[in-house]
Amino acid sequence: MKIEPFEIFKVLSVDTRVKIIELLKAQGPLGAKDISAAIGITTAAVSQHLKILKERILDSILNRRESHGKLPAIIN
- pLDDT level of residue 6 (50, 70, 90 thresholds): confident
Residue of 69 and 46 predicted with greater confidence:
46
Residue/partner pairs of 34-41 with CB below 8 Å, 24 or more apart = 41/16
Q: What is the pTM of this model?
A: 0.73
Indicate the domain borders of the chain: 5-68
Residue 76 pLDDT greater than 50, yes or no = no
What's the rounded Cα separation, in Å, for the pair 68 and 53? 21
Average pLDDT score over residue span 42-46: 97
For residue 62, the model assigns a pLDDT of 63
Q: What is the pLDDT of residues 27-42, one digit of tens each?
A: 999 999 999 999 999 9
